[in-house]
Structure 1
């Protein structure tokens, strides 16, 4: 009887330890490294203190910002922003805080100041991170581009597209069946060939400024281009994105606007630029 009781106790202890392990693991996975609740200890105001590698989050060139008409400067020589995208195989992934589309080969590029920036991935924020004259929109898409440098580093340029509620967005409509079955966090699903030009082709009017990544590590030196054309997205499409990520981020995954400091916000308007006399 003594051995039997000892064996039973050992089995119960092993089961308890197993349950505790998986419970702890699940809790750890559900607790993100940073959050968007401005009142919480891991909120945007504290990102720069959470990790040494995130110190840039306390920098002077942070994103997003408010694109105020009072602060912008017309810069005709910025030129039209034209993309040179091409269809390429892509994957969809749930990164916990957002849903991302990643192209696995050469999906084309944009040209900024004579440098080519190659498209890497796109992801969404709700509500929008950038505001225009104080107005925050319902969704923002970021198209992340990278330009390899000779010293082995990369320069990053992000194109931002703002959306308000209205008719469904055609690109999201194309992805619905994949987002519904988006994999668990940090896993990817192949979604076949995706043409980035279905998202963005070119822009005759946009804002341009120097900023940062809008999430840790908040790396600065990012070239931001925000298209002034506001697109539409359905409430159902935004809800679909929200339901695909960790519950911690379902309500909001947008960083508050940051202080502009002494930065210049350039704006390009093709109509005004074409009407400026050249001597």
Structure 2
């Protein structure tokens, strides 16, 4: 799930049942603050008191308008204090080190419901009470950005929705990982896309779709012709709409599990839905992404006490 990333500070509300990548509205005196992969954040009420005390001053400094900043504060010091911790996919700032880079990243090391996972089919449980995913997507002209960790397409319309068990989630953005983050029976795919949604109460839901090399994907052709090689300061507007309904596979069999963001701060409470059938992209399209992000996937995490469900009856 990979902010689903303009900054990397998302916190999610814990969910009983189930994201992807990588997130709720952070409210400090009703001021919205940092976001990650384009997702607004929430402070969880269950945050340890000590951490909450630290988080509030930080968010106030990050969100204060010039009129609210004391004249004795130095702009450079304020910028430094509000800068998100640097993380990457390799070396001393890679996935194995995320949990030690910043206290807000602690879940990356200590979380109990982390994503991605290996979906072992022998462990998947059938639950006929789970309603089919209700996907209400319209052809949409997205804006395109390189946020330094992935290629992300932002939805400026607010008109695309995913309904899970009667609860409605609005699409915020779509981004990609290479190779796939979630696996099926230990198999990685060439890439994976994450459609990141958020409900009115701030809960995240991610619809993950696996990608394999095959024919050219016409729905992503316009976006792929404009891939920014460097981190962008402003979004690039696409010329042609993407029809998400035709981007996704016709077979909507999915696996459901409770997980987390797949990028720091690895916040949990994300509702994950991973489609079983992969879509196709050409080798040229996959290689074009790889030229910018050769490897931007977090390794699979332990399932621990979680269950994986499906409502598909074979």
Equivalent pair of 1:183/1:189 in contact (CA under 8 Å) = no
CA distance in 2, matches of 1:43, 1:201: 32
Return 5+ residue gaps in structure 2 as ranges: 1-84
Residue 79 (structure 1) shift? 2.5
1:141 to 171, 193, 209: 193
Instruction: Name the structure 2 match of 1:209.
Output: 257
Q: How does 1:210-225 map to 2 (within 5 A)?
A: 210-225=258-273
CA distance in 2, matches of 1:142, 1:62: 16
- The structural deviation recorded for 1:183 is 6.4
CA distance in 2, matches of 1:110, 1:190: 24
Aligned to 1:10: none
CA change 1:200–1:122 in 2 (3 A) is same
**Retained in 2: the 8 A contact 1:121–1:144?**
yes
Q: Within 2, Cα distance between the matches of 1:186 and 1:264?
A: 40
Partner of 2:244: 196
1-side partners of 2:149 and 2:307: how far apart?
30
Q: 1:156: which partner in 2?
A: 204
- Between the aligned partners of 2:158 and 2:247, the Cα distance in structure 1 is 16
Tell me the distance in 1 between the aligned counterparts of 2:252 and 2:140. Answer: 26
Higher helix share: 1
1:97-116 alignment, distance < 5 Å = 97-116=149-168
Tell me if 1:185 matches 2:228: no
The alignment's TM-score, normalised by the length of structure 2, stands at 0.68
CA–CA separation in structure 2 for the residues paired with 1:183 and 1:104: 22
3-state SS in 2 of match to 1:105: coil
2:279 paired with 1:231: yes
Q: Which sits farther off after the overlay, 120-129 or 99-108?
A: 99-108
Q: Are the structure 2 counterparts of residues 251 and 204 from structure 1 closer, same or farther at C-alpha, using a change threshold of 3 Å? A: closer
Partner residue of 2:106? 55
Corresponding residue for 1:34? 87
**Ranges of 4+ aligned residues in structure 1 off by more than 6 Å:** none
* Aligned: 1:124 with 2:189: no
- The secondary structure found in structure 1 opposite 2:269 is strand
The match for 2:33 is: none
For structure 1, the residue ranges without an aligned partner over 5 or more in a row are 1-31, 273-279
Q: How big is the alpha-carbon RMSD for the aligned residues of Structure 1 and Structure 2? A: 1.9
Shift of 1:202: 6.5
Q: Write the distance in 1 (CA, Å) between the matches of 2:213 and 2:140.
A: 29
Q: CA deviation at 1:57?
A: 1.0
Indicate the residue corresponding to 1:7 in structure 2: none
C-alpha spacing 1:220/1:203, structure 2 compared with 1 (3 Å): farther
* Residue-pair matches, total: 228
Higher normalized strand content (fraction of residues): 1
> Which of 263, 274, 278 is matched with 2:306 structurally?
263
Structure 1, residues 201-260: CA drift from partner, whole Å, max 9, x if none?
7654110000000001111000000000122221210121233x4xxxx32000000000
* CA distance, structure 2, for counterparts of residue 232 and residue 171 of structure 1: 11
